Amino acid sequence: MAKPQRRKTLKRSAGRVGYGLPTVLAVALHLGILVISVIKWPSSEPEAPNNAIVQATLISTETRTDQAQQAAEARTRAAERQAQEEAERQAQEEAERQAREAAEQQAAEEAERQAAEQQAQQEAEQQAREEAAEQAQAEAERRAAEAEAAAQRKAEEEAEREAARQQAEQERQAEAERRRQEEAARQQEAERQAREEAEQKAREEAEQQAREEAERKAQEEAERQAREAAEQQAREEAERKAQEEAERQAREAAEQKAREEAERQARQEAERKAQEEAERQAREAAEQKAREEAERQLQRIIEGDSSAVSNAEQGNEAANGFIQLVRRAVEQAWVIPPNVGDGTTAEVQVRLGPSGEVFAATVTRSSGNAAFDNSAIQAVESAAPFTELRDLPSGVQRDYRQFNLRFRPGDIR
């Protein structure tokens, strides 16, 4: 019974197939395929002959084959140009400044001379005027003094006379008093006498007063007359003076007008000069600004700060992307005619519109095979429009509006 038992187990192990081994095998198979796919892909990649069939080379109007080199060249060129411009500008500025200074100096000298002349003239005039005024004043003074003196003299005389009279009167009074005293001593008659005397005195006094009044009046009259005379004289003097003054003023006015004319001319001249100067300066400033702007732009494009550089790089990248896109689009659209040798090359110049549409596609270098040339042009036309042009930075767009495409079939890279 042991034998069948053993045989049974043997048969069982042989007959029944488990799932362990198949699982291992299946997983191993998949892993193997995965490994093969991972390993094989990179090695199979280089021999992928897809893009070797069609070869379209894009050459921009400016040779943009080596961006970095070109950027470096442009940078050095820009630096040179900048230096040159700097030197030129400096020289120009120097010359301008010198000219300006000379002109200024000249103008200043002229102005100074004019000013000096004017001043001298003015001074002379003023002096003359002053002299005249002084003379007039002196004359007036003298006349006034004379009049005054006359008046004074008259007054003095009168005063003297009066004084004398007063003195006499005083004396007389004293005498009268004495007499009155005598009369008082004499009493009665004396009184009458005194009264009479007093009356007389009063009369005399009244007379005197009247006389004095008359005298005063006369004096006043005289004074007034003198004053009037003086005034008239002064007036006449003044009139004459005024006339003279007017004449002088007219003369002066004429002179001044002439002077003003001259001044105005000079001023106009100066103004014009100044204006020209200002204009020139403004122009220079504008030029300089423009130059600076251009430089700054150049700098911005080429060197400048980092953001400008990155912008420029982005622009370049976008442009490169655009070139790639155009190249691919043209490659895809290109139907190579049959029986074309590998070495056949045609160059097509493409001009684009602002929105990427093709204005013109002309064969610049024929391959000698008309069908091939036509196929190249058809490829460009069917690949158009290159709307990606609009996505480029506006500064770079212009450079890519025109470019050359080189068409070359075959597997030569």
Partner 1 sequence: MNDSMSIPHLIMNASGVVQFVMLLLMIGSVLSWIVVFQRSFVMRRARKAHRAFEDRFWSGVDLNELYRDAPAEGETQGAEHIFRAGFREFNRLMPKTRSPQAILDGVQRSMRVAWSREEERLNLHLVFLATVASASPYIGLFGTVWGIMGSFQSLSMAQQATLATVAPWIAEALVATAMGLFAAIPAVIFYNRLSAESSRLLGKYEDFAEEFHSILHRNLQGRPDAGAA
Site size for partner 1, by CB under 8 A? Answer: 29
Count of C-beta atoms within a 10 Å radius of residue 249 = 14
- Decide: is 27 part of the binding site for partner 1 (CB under 8 A): yes
Q: Treating both helix axes as pointing N-terminal to C-terminal, what angle do 306-333 and 67-186 enclose, rounded to 10 degrees?
A: 140
- Decide: is 47 part of the binding site for partner 1 (CB under 8 A): no
- 328 near 383, Cβ under 8 Å? no
Q: Is 284 strand, coil or helix?
A: helix
Residues 374-393 that bind partner 1 (CB under 8 A): 388, 391
In the complex, least distance from residue 338 CB atom to partner 1, rounded to whole angstroms = 25
- Output the CA–CA distances (angstroms, integers) from residue 273 to 105, 129, 213, 276, in the order listed: 12, 35, 79, 5
- Output the CA–CA distances (angstroms, integers) from residue 221 to 148, 214, 215, in the order listed: 14, 10, 9
Write down the residue that tokens 């270098």 correspond to: 365
- Decide: is 17 part of the binding site for partner 1 (CB under 8 A): yes
Q: Which is nearer to partner 1, 230 or 383 (CB)?
A: 383
- Decide: is 4 part of the binding site for partner 1 (CB under 8 A): yes
Which one of residues 1, 2, 15, 413 is an interface residue with partner 1 (CB under 8 A)? 15
Which one of residues 2, 41, 68, 339 is an interface residue with partner 1 (CB under 8 A)? 41
- Decide: is 52 part of the binding site for partner 1 (CB under 8 A): no
- Decide: is 11 part of the binding site for partner 1 (CB under 8 A): yes
Q: Which is nearer to partner 1, 15 or 49 (CB)?
A: 15
- Decide: is 25 part of the binding site for partner 1 (CB under 8 A): yes
In single-letter form, the type of residue at position 79 comes to: A
Count of C-beta atoms within a 10 Å radius of residue 176 = 19
Spatial distance between the Cα atoms of 66 and 318, rounded to a whole number of angstroms: 15
Residues 331-350 that bind partner 1 (CB under 8 A): 332
- Decide: is 328 part of the binding site for partner 1 (CB under 8 A): yes
- Decide: is 22 part of the binding site for partner 1 (CB under 8 A): yes
Q: State both tokens at 353.
A: 């519109």
In the complex, least distance from residue 50 CB atom to partner 1, rounded to whole angstroms = 11
- 407 near 348, Cβ under 8 Å? yes
Q: Is 355 strand, coil or helix?
A: coil
- Decide: is 185 part of the binding site for partner 1 (CB under 8 A): no
Q: State both tokens at 391.
A: 């996505």
Which one of residues 34, 72, 83, 168 is an interface residue with partner 1 (CB under 8 A)? 34
In single-letter form, the type of residue at position 410 comes to: G
Q: Which is nearer to partner 1, 26 or 53 (CB)?
A: 26
In the complex, least distance from residue 328 CB atom to partner 1, rounded to whole angstroms = 7
Length of the chain: 413
In the complex, least distance from residue 98 CB atom to partner 1, rounded to whole angstroms = 57
Which residues have CB under 8 Å from 71's CB, separation 6+?
A: 302, 312, 316
Q: Which is nearer to partner 1, 226 or 392 (CB)?
A: 392
- Decide: is 8 part of the binding site for partner 1 (CB under 8 A): yes
Which one of residues 1, 2, 19, 49 is an interface residue with partner 1 (CB under 8 A)? 19
Binding site for partner 1 (CB under 8 A): 4, 7-8, 11-12, 14-15, 17, 19, 21-23, 25-27, 29-30, 33-34, 37-38, 41-42, 45, 325, 328, 332, 388, 391
